[in-house]
Amino acid sequence: MNGDSAMIRCPSCGSLNKESRRKCDNCGAILPQTEIRCPKCGTVNPVGNLFCDHCNARLMQQEDLNSLASRSSTEEPNSSSLKGISLPTRSPTTEDDDQEREDLPAWLRGLPDEEQRAEETGVSEQEVLENAGGYPDWLADLIDEDAEFGDVDVPVEVEVDNDRAASLFEGETMPEWLRAEVPSVEPLATEPSTEETEPASDQSLASKALPDWLSSLTDEAAGDEFDERELPIPDWLSEQELDHPEAAQSSSTPSERLVDTARPEEQDPALTAERDEMEEHDALTEEIEERTKNGATASSATRETAFSIFSETDLPEWLSDARALDLEDAGASVGEASGPEPHGAAEPIPQAQEFQEPPSEGEADETADAAEEEAVTEEAAATAEVADSEVTNEAVQGPSPSPSATTAQTPPWEGERDDTEEAELPDWLAGLEPAPPGETVSAVFTKETVSEVSVPDWLRDVSPIVEEASDLTPTAPVFVEDADDERSSSDTPPSLDEPAQEPDWLKDLDLLADEAVPTRPETVDDEAPVKADLPPWLQALAPSGQALSTGPEDAAGELVPADIPDWVRDLRADPNEPDKASLTRERIATPAEPEGPLEGLPGVLPSLSVVDVPSEARLSADSELPESVIAQAQLWQQLLEQPRSVERPVLQERVRSEGSWGIIRLLAGVILIAVLLAAFWMIPSGTRLSQVPPVQTAVGVPALAAGLDQLTPGERVLVALEINPAYAEEMAQIAIPLLRHIQAQEVETLIVSTLPESAGLGAMLVDQAGYSVTVSGRYLPGNANGIAEFLQGPEAQTAARLIVLASQPERMRWWIEQNLLLRSHNGNGPLPVSVGLSATAGPFIRPYLEARRVDGWVIGFADAVAYRDLRGDIGVHGRVLDILMLAHWLVASFLVIGVLYGLALQRKGSR
């Protein structure tokens, strides 16, 4: 098996081909070359070399270079230029990015770039994420990966033990982020910057659902008292103390330290703006309360307050509809707007505070900023900027717990309001009835539950309006699903079905109650979501006499799809294009990278098609591969899979056979030589065993003799001596009697030859023939050209005969051809030709002999002996002829033995 012949796979049909092939044997596609052989010296050079490494010859012609250059200009400009490496590379160019973008699903492709988003919003994504605080790990853990895009999460019922939360920070400053979640906690007076906002914050926070960890915190803390000072300080906190020693010194408790470290010295402008919004929100709430006290209904008070905020033209849609209804009902004019404000900018939407895990080592520096960052809820997504970031966050991290559900759900602490200090809840919140325990609540807007005019767009966007709650079908983004399938179990964040994992720092505090953490109801996916109870304020906005509907309906009475922005709509997978979705799924559903920096990520790098075989590649029956190709490929596969230690019997057998035939060669040679030598001594000189068949000499030898006998003295005879030194001894047995015969005729002899050696050989033969006159000789260079040039000269024109003594058939042919060609043009006719040939050339010249273009011939030693015999000059040559005959018989015997050996092998193989 030829060890130096590697195999490469055709990129077109996948069949195996030898490395040296340029085209595929199966489909004819051009195979990638891995080496270039120099046309001059044969040295193998790596691909990419323009000149040979050995002889500096050009390997690639200019036109090849030009075509390569033109081809490369249309291809990746940054392809690998390494010599000898023919692997495809990825070019970090925009073209790759575009290609990557094209590989993405449609709904993800429409996601605007950072630059585009920054241009549109004026805020970079980094800033947005920073402002929004991103999603901390614990929140990401809480995110339900099984939830689908657009679906509405059912919030987890949590119970907040406000007393316990308040006791934790009794006499201390509760951090703002915690205060937002615990409405009963009074802000500390020591923090003037946040005191004013805290009461309002407390009230607004009452509408929030606490995360599990906090609920568990409150539950556990309800029964136990502990000294916070005895708790171990988390590392991140201790590091913060190092960074803020003054804060640490001023604080005596970890929570205080937490508070201090959570409050950076420098205020972020964005956070300041949000704090201002909070203050406005509080102010508005107070205004609504005042109006209510003054006798207005809650809804009217709310509306009027809203009208005072927005200008005529800046009213949000949902509020404008309400206003229109008010105008119809009350006929009262809308209050003066306090001033135009950006839509949504003063939206007093209570914002869920973002709870962050205690920063680990290395993140202490970011703790201050992280603590100040507040998550943007879907209610705050009414603003354009927030809506973008929210969708981004949702798209990347999954849907967050829907605040709409949160708003729809009765805060769990409602049931415990009796036990806690009476908190002033807004009317819209006061009107909410607590949800039955254990019953899932989902903010699903159906036609029956939502007013046709009162559902704002932003809310409608979050919760699509369906016919019935049961029609809500999950449509999670593809990548979420696939990410679930391929993410390892260790990396899978816990879903809402599992108990929420509390941060480590909280674990250390050992505040968990023994009560089981409420889990998500299991009936989310199977049963239809429960219709949400609209808050009173929402209900109040509905025009009187009209039932709430899910939203505006078209003329046909069917639901109108939510007014989702186009760019959001593009992000979704189109269910009407199953092929595309399936292709997308198939594309993305590639095996994750097993190792490296891309570990766990699927479909990042395309599979190499030139060298590697795709894992899905299979030879099917429809591939139309010939069986020989398949068999060859299988054989190569078997041979390549064999370990090196496996012996190769084929090669060994071949070596063994070569050795045996070498022995046979030696034996045959020795036997032949020995027998012949013995024959020289054993056969007496006078004995004649052999005979020359008369059929061999009946025509040729006598005709030659007769032709020479016709020569008259003075004529010129041309003797073409085309004898190779190897045949000199054999041809000498023919040439010497011929020369003697010519000499006997007393003719002028001109010896010519196209072989350089024959010039000297002619002199030797003439000397051995016993010529008494000088014989001239000429060398004719150029083979047939020389013959043609000589025969057209004057010396050949006057010659009487041409005698050709040739050891090789082609030289004999040249003489005969040129003789026929030239002499016919001269009008004299061709020269009569007599030939003397070696036994090798005889069979090849027989057609000319049969054509009677030659009168008289002597072929081989046997005819030479016959000619000698005819001339009466046999001498010792009869004995030599006998020995030659013996040699013939011996060789024939060996050939027969070889045939019998072959037959024996065949019979042995068949057995």
The span of 177-185, 325-333, 444-452, 773-781 binding another protein (CB under 8 A) equals: 773-781
Q: Which is nearer to another protein, 323 or 879 (CB)?
A: 879
Beta carbons of 282 and 266 less than 8 angstroms apart:
no
Measured from the CB of residue 701, what is the shortest distance to another protein in angstroms? 14
Q: Decide: is 664 part of the binding site for another protein (CB under 8 A).
A: yes
The span of 200-208, 422-430, 438-446, 774-782 binding another protein (CB under 8 A) equals: 774-782
Q: Decide: is 776 part of the binding site for another protein (CB under 8 A).
A: no
Tokens in use for 214? 């906090």
Q: Which is nearer to another protein, 266 or 850 (CB)?
A: 850
DSSP state of 469: G
Q: Decide: is 655 part of the binding site for another protein (CB under 8 A).
A: no
Measured from the CB of residue 838, what is the shortest distance to another protein in angstroms? 5
Helix (H, G, I), strand (E, B) or coil at 444: strand
| Distance of alpha carbon 207 from alpha carbon 538, whole angstroms | 14
The single residue listed with the structure tokens 């760019």 is: 567
Tokens in use for 607? 């599979």
Measured from the CB of residue 816, what is the shortest distance to another protein in angstroms? 6
The span of 374-382, 399-407, 551-559, 675-683 binding another protein (CB under 8 A) equals: 675-683
Q: Which is nearer to another protein, 293 or 825 (CB)?
A: 825
The span of 606-614, 638-646, 664-672, 743-751 binding another protein (CB under 8 A) equals: 664-672
Q: Decide: is 843 part of the binding site for another protein (CB under 8 A).
A: yes
Helix H or strand E segment including 833: strand 833-837
Q: Which is nearer to another protein, 598 or 671 (CB)?
A: 671
409 exposure class (CB count in 10 Å sphere: 0-12, 13-18, 19+): buried
| Distance of alpha carbon 711 from alpha carbon 744, whole angstroms | 10
36 to 75: interface string for another protein, x by CB under 8 A: ----x---------------xx------------------
Q: Decide: is 906 part of the binding site for another protein (CB under 8 A).
A: yes
Directed axis angle between helix 254-262 and helix 364-372, to 10°? 80
Beta carbons of 516 and 219 less than 8 angstroms apart:
no
Measured from the CB of residue 75, what is the shortest distance to another protein in angstroms? 31
Measured from the CB of residue 714, what is the shortest distance to another protein in angstroms? 25
The span of 324-332, 334-342, 363-371, 752-760 binding another protein (CB under 8 A) equals: 752-760
What backbone torsions phi and psi does residue 314 show, to the nearest 5 degrees? -105, 10
Q: Which is nearer to another protein, 567 or 771 (CB)?
A: 771
Q: Decide: is 232 part of the binding site for another protein (CB under 8 A).
A: no
Q: Which of residues 106-165 bind another protein (CB under 8 A)?
A: none
Question: Of the candidates 140, 145, 221, which has an alpha carbon nearest to the alpha carbon of residue 178?
Answer: 221
The span of 111-119, 249-257, 582-590, 674-682 binding another protein (CB under 8 A) equals: 674-682
The single residue listed with the structure tokens 């092929």 is: 579
720 to 739: interface string for another protein, x by CB under 8 A: ----xxxxxxx--x------
| Distance of alpha carbon 413 from alpha carbon 419, whole angstroms | 10
Q: Which is nearer to another protein, 223 or 847 (CB)?
A: 847
Rule CB under 8 A: choose which of 701, 841, 854, 874 binds another protein: 841
What backbone torsions phi and psi does residue 778 show, to the nearest 5 degrees? -135, 145
Tokens in use for 291? 């109006």
| Cα R_g (the chain), whole angstroms | 54
Q: Which is nearer to another protein, 345 or 870 (CB)?
A: 870
The span of 262-270, 338-346, 546-554, 899-907 binding another protein (CB under 8 A) equals: 899-907
29 exposure class (CB count in 10 Å sphere: 0-12, 13-18, 19+): middle
Q: Decide: is 591 part of the binding site for another protein (CB under 8 A).
A: no
| Distance of alpha carbon 736 from alpha carbon 122, whole angstroms | 112
Measured from the CB of residue 741, what is the shortest distance to another protein in angstroms? 21
Q: Decide: is 665 part of the binding site for another protein (CB under 8 A).
A: yes
Q: Which is nearer to another protein, 330 or 651 (CB)?
A: 651
Q: Which is nearer to another protein, 563 or 767 (CB)?
A: 767
| Distance of alpha carbon 285 from alpha carbon 305, whole angstroms | 9
Q: Decide: is 673 part of the binding site for another protein (CB under 8 A).
A: yes
Beta carbons of 816 and 853 less than 8 angstroms apart:
yes
Q: By rule CB under 8 A, what count of residues binds another protein?
A: 100
Q: Which is nearer to another protein, 213 or 861 (CB)?
A: 861
782 to 811: interface string for another protein, x by CB under 8 A: xxxxx-xx--x-------------------
Rule CB under 8 A: choose which of 591, 626, 760, 829 binds another protein: 760
Task: Give the contacts of 832 (CB within 8 A, at least 6 positions apart).
Answer: 707, 800, 801, 802, 855
The single residue listed with the structure tokens 């990520």 is: 601
> In Å, what is the CA distance from 228 to each residue of 187, 191, 752, 785?
19, 21, 126, 117
870 to 889: interface string for another protein, x by CB under 8 A: ----------xx-xxx-xxx
Helix H or strand E segment including 776: strand 776-779
Measured from the CB of residue 721, what is the shortest distance to another protein in angstroms? 12
Rule CB under 8 A: choose which of 583, 651, 689, 706 binds another protein: 689
Rule CB under 8 A: choose which of 672, 683, 800, 870 binds another protein: 672
Q: Which is nearer to another protein, 245 or 843 (CB)?
A: 843
Q: Which is nearer to another protein, 470 or 657 (CB)?
A: 657
Helix (H, G, I), strand (E, B) or coil at 740: helix
Residue type, 527: E
Q: Which is nearer to another protein, 28 or 232 (CB)?
A: 28
Q: Which of residues 362-401 bind another protein (CB under 8 A)?
A: none
Q: Which of residues 261-300 bind another protein (CB under 8 A)?
A: none
The span of 70-78, 375-383, 573-581, 860-868 binding another protein (CB under 8 A) equals: 860-868
Alpha helices in 235-383 (DSSP H): 235-243, 245-250, 254-262, 269-293, 298-309, 317-329, 364-372
Helix (H, G, I), strand (E, B) or coil at 74: helix
Beta carbons of 405 and 154 less than 8 angstroms apart:
yes
Q: Which is nearer to another protein, 521 or 786 (CB)?
A: 786
Alpha helices in 603-715 (DSSP H): 627-641, 649-682, 694-697, 700-709
Measured from the CB of residue 79, what is the shortest distance to another protein in angstroms? 32
Q: How many CA atoms lie within 13 A of 161 on its CB side?
A: 21
The span of 204-212, 367-375, 613-621, 832-840 binding another protein (CB under 8 A) equals: 832-840
The single residue listed with the structure tokens 């809506």 is: 387
| Distance of alpha carbon 471 from alpha carbon 552, whole angstroms | 18
Q: Decide: is 777 part of the binding site for another protein (CB under 8 A).
A: yes
Alpha helices in 122-234 (DSSP H): 125-132, 137-142, 162-168, 176-179, 192-195, 197-205, 212-223
Measured from the CB of residue 690, what is the shortest distance to another protein in angstroms? 5
Rule CB under 8 A: choose which of 87, 242, 744, 892 binds another protein: 892
Tokens in use for 583? 């292709």
Rule CB under 8 A: choose which of 842, 856, 867, 878 binds another protein: 842
449 exposure class (CB count in 10 Å sphere: 0-12, 13-18, 19+): buried
Q: Decide: is 651 part of the binding site for another protein (CB under 8 A).
A: no
